[in-house]
Amino acid sequence: MQPVRHFLQLRDLSPDELGYLFERTRIIKERSKSYQQYWPLQDRTLVMIFEKPSTRTRLSFEAGMYQLGGTAIYLNTRDSQLDRGEAVEDAAQVISRMCDLVMIRTFEQSMIERFAANSRVPVINGLTNDYHPCQILADIYTYIEKRGSIRGKTVAWIGDSNNVCNTWLQAAALLDFKLHVSTPPGFEVAPERLGACAASHVRSFADPMDAARGADLVTTDVWTSMGFEAENAERVRAFENWQVDAAKMAVAADDALFMHCLPAHRGEEVSADVIDGPRSVVWDEAENRLHTQKALMEFLLLNRVND
């Protein structure tokens, strides 16, 4: 029997597997757009466990599973025994006997690692405090769709050193592009995360304008992620100069794109003229969550397919 494959962080897939997934996404998306029925996951069940809110992640996994012929079940931890102290290990044993695939959105990365270690079926990270790998699959697929290979390009991350930023760092190393990072003082990327990346893949900038200069893609995220709400007032003050605005887009490459994982706060991390402007691809980026995750679920359950 093949060992169970999990997707707990982006680097759980090799560069070759990521390349396969992006090509597979193109085929699955085309098929879906022309309403060709494709049900490779008929009789398969996905359980989605949420300990934090979601719009895109829930909808894209649920719709994606139905479109592949399977079934999806939504479980909020507040309504489950997990909220009353059932051990994650015990829950994993039981849940993974009742379904074929599990997606979890939670706080601690260690929770999904403990779950996966006790699961008979693949586990997907639907966002933790540390990583958001499904988001970066969609972001890079969107870049490829619009501009071709991301290899050798420059991506500017302006804002918080959060789960999405940490995943971009992994992506730069895996797919061989350069990440320019600029975060306010006190909110820097953890030195061990920066240290794990070669200088050819990451560079830090004190001034966000310098990070944006020449970038092929400028991206950001909320200043206050889920679970950090108590720091909101302090963050709004600290991040004031880290808004992606027209001035920052003006120093990026002429054909630079703007991305944001959403939900966005216009007037905070991004100005309205940028997110609603011609270089923004946020709606395609959000839609591509659906297509990339369909390719991911197919890969985790059926491995590589040729049809």
Which residues participate in catalysis according to the annotation?
A: 105, 132, 135, 221, 261, 289
Q: Is 283 in the site for ligand CP (CB under 6 A)?
A: no
Contact 131, 154 (CB under 8 A): no
3-state secondary structure of 82: helix
Stretch that binds ligand CP, among 49-57, 116-124, 155-163, 210-218 (CB under 6 A): 49-57
Q: Which residues pair with 72 in a beta bridge?
A: 46
Per-residue x/- mask for ligand NVA, residues 206 to 225, rule CB under 6 A?
---------------xx--x
The least distance separating ligand CP from the CB of residue 16, rounded to whole angstroms, comes to 26
Judged by CB under 6 A, the residue of 29, 44, 56, 178 near ligand CP is 56
Closer to ligand CP by CB, 38 or 228: give it. 228
Closer to ligand NVA by CB, 68 or 261: give it. 261
Q: Is 226 in the site for ligand NVA (CB under 6 A)?
A: yes
Stretch that binds ligand NVA, among 5-13, 38-46, 86-94, 159-167 (CB under 6 A): 159-167
At 1, which amino acid appears? M
Closer to ligand NVA by CB, 68 or 290: give it. 290
Judged by CB under 6 A, the residue of 77, 96, 106, 162 near ligand NVA is 162
Stretch that binds ligand NVA, among 161-169, 178-186, 246-254, 273-281 (CB under 6 A): 161-169
Q: Which residues pair with 202 in a beta bridge?
A: 179
| Half-sphere CA count of 105, side-chain side, radius 13 A | 22
Residue-wise DSSP of 278-302: TTB-HHHHHHHHHHHHHHHHHHHHH
Using CA atoms, how far residue 133 sits from 3, 62, 87, 246, in Å, is 21, 17, 25, 28
The residue at minimum Cβ distance from ligand CP is 57
Q: Which of 202, 219, 216 is nearest to 153 (CA)?
A: 216
Contact 81, 91 (CB under 8 A): yes
Q: Is 135 in the site for ligand CP (CB under 6 A)?
A: yes
Q: Residue 211 and residue 250: Cα distance in Å, rounded?
A: 12
The least distance separating ligand NVA from the CB of residue 116, rounded to whole angstroms, comes to 20
Count of residues of this chain found to bind ligand CP when the rule CB under 6 A is applied: 8
Two tokens, residue 129: 């405090």
Q: Which of residues 163-192 bind ligand NVA (CB under 6 A)?
A: 163-164
Tell me the backbone φ, ψ of residue 75, rounded to 5 degrees.
-130, 120
Q: Is 124 in the site for ligand CP (CB under 6 A)?
A: no
Q: Which of the choices ligand NVA, ligand CP, none does residue 55 contact, using the CB cut-off of 5 to 8 A by kind?
A: ligand CP
Q: Is 54 in the site for ligand CP (CB under 6 A)?
A: yes
Q: What contacts 24+ positions apart, CB below 8 Å, involve 104-110?
A: 104/48, 104/49, 104/50, 104/51, 105/48, 105/49, 105/50, 105/51, 105/52, 105/54, 105/57, 106/49, 106/51, 106/52, 106/77, 107/51, 107/52, 107/227, 109/8, 109/9
Q: Is 91 in the site for ligand NVA (CB under 6 A)?
A: no
Tally the residues of the chain: 307
Using CA atoms, how far residue 75 sits from 58, 69, 98, 247, 266, in Å, is 11, 20, 13, 43, 31
Closer to ligand NVA by CB, 102 or 261: give it. 261
The least distance separating ligand NVA from the CB of residue 225, rounded to whole angstroms, comes to 3
Binding site for ligand NVA (CB under 6 A): 127, 162-164, 221-222, 225-226, 261
Binding site for ligand CP (CB under 6 A): 54-57, 127, 135, 261-262
